[in-house]
Amino acid sequence: MYKEKLEQFLWSVRSPTGAFHMHEGGEIDLRGVYCAVSVARLTNIYSNALFEDSAHWIASCQTYEGGFSSVPGTEAHGGYAFCGLAALRLLNKEHLCDMNALLRWLVNRQMRFEGGFQGRTNKLVDGCYSFWQGGAFPLLHRILNEENVNTVSGERWLFHQEALQEYILVCCQHSSGGLIDKPNKPRDIYHTCYTLSGLSIAQHSPGGKLCVVGGDRNELECVEPAYNISTKAALDAMTYFYKLPAVSLS
């Protein structure tokens, strides 16, 4: 892989504020900085200079509700909340986030009747938020454990794991294969990916304990939430790239 070219590209889409454009000349939002830092960490091209001020820009996207918005001053949203938290985690700047406010916002996004997650306040449940909201909980769990918060369970995430699995298995499977947003919606690759990722998060509890609804035949491979790839794939990537000579254009 052309690591030098990859780093050049990241510099080319970097904003002076520490945010990142989605592509050259493209929009700026939290997706950009999350994608940039996750790629940089996995491929060992991370540098402090490349991500100078990024954490403070991310923190400025946390809203009065506790979630994160796409850019400062807009509405909190599940996808951006995950990107904001995961990016801060990868930058080792979690302390800039109001964790109590974020946790309060996240736990209130799981709907009592359906069991699935909504993406924003007063919106309908959507299967893809099984990961965008659900995937934030393992990250929060690790952060709270590191802060010695004694109220965090050693056996469960801070959401109802069985209820989420039931929503996915009962309401989000298409009869011809693939997964969906909600009943009577068409199947697509996007919802198939993120709904399955959320199902994996719900199945794999802290410490490797399994919580699988429907028996062993439903068990999925464990996902590393910060990257949304399997734990093995994340370890393999970092093992490979961190053995290569470091490259820095900064």
Q: Do residues 84 and 162 share a domain?
A: no
Claim to verify: residue 99 and residue 120 sit in the same structural domain: no
**pLDDT tens track for 98-123:** 999 999 999 999 999 999 999 999 99
pLDDT band at 77 (very low <50, low <70, confident <90, very high): very high
Q: What is the mean pLDDT of the segment spanning 19-48?
A: 96
Q: Is 182 in the same domain as 244?
A: no
Residue 33 located in a structural domain = yes
Asked if the structure places residue 122 within a domain, the reply is yes
In a domain, 90, yes or no: yes
Active site residue ranges: 77, 120, 123, 126, 128-129, 181, 188, 191
In angstroms, what CA-CA distances link 156 with 27, 162, 201, 215?
A: 38, 11, 11, 18
165 and 102 in one domain?
no
Q: Evaluate whether residue 226 is within a structural domain.
A: no
Instruction: For residues 101 and 65, give the distance between their C-alpha atoms in angstroms, rounded to a whole number.
Output: 7
Residue 90's CATH number: 1.50.10.20
Task: Check whether 245 has a pLDDT greater than 90.
Answer: no
Q: In this structure, is residue 225 part of a structural domain?
A: no
Give residue 41's pLDDT band: very low, low, confident or very high (50, 70, 90): very high
pLDDT tier, 162 (very low <50, low <70, confident <90, very high otherwise): very high
80: domain range? 1-108+232-249
Residues 36 and 46 in one domain: yes
Q: How confident is the model at residue 54 (pLDDT cuts 50, 70, 90)?
A: very high
Q: What is the pLDDT of residue 220?
A: 97
Residues 132 and 57 in one domain: no
pLDDT at residue 246 above 80?
no
Answer whether residue 141 is part of any domain: yes
Contact yes or no for 196/172 (Cβ under 8 A): no
In a domain, 65, yes or no: yes
Is residue 227 one of the residues assigned to a domain? no
Note the pLDDT tens digit of each residue in 189-243.
999 999 999 999 999 999 889 999 999 999 999 999 999 999 999 999 999 999 9
> Can you give the pTM of this predicted structure?
0.95
The confidence score (pLDDT) of residue 151 equals 73
pLDDT exceeds 60 at position 58: yes
Return the closest-CA partner of residue 157 out of 117, 122, 194, 97: 117
Under a CB-based contact definition with an 8 Å cutoff, are residues 130 and 197 in contact?
Answer: yes
Residues 56 and 103 in one domain: yes
Percent with pLDDT over 90 in the chain: 91
pLDDT of residue 248: 61
Q: Are 81 and 58 found together in one domain?
A: yes
User: Is 153's pLDDT higher than 90?
Assistant: no
When pLDDT is cut at 50, 70 and 90, the band that residue 249 belongs to is low
Structural domain count, the chain? 2
User: Sign of torsion, CA 29 97 126 123?
Assistant: negative
Q: Are residues 176 and 207 in the same domain?
A: yes
| 8-state DSSP, 178 | S
84 lies in the same domain as 170: no
> Domain check: are 104 and 151 in the same one?
no
Let me know whether 24 and 124 are in one domain. no
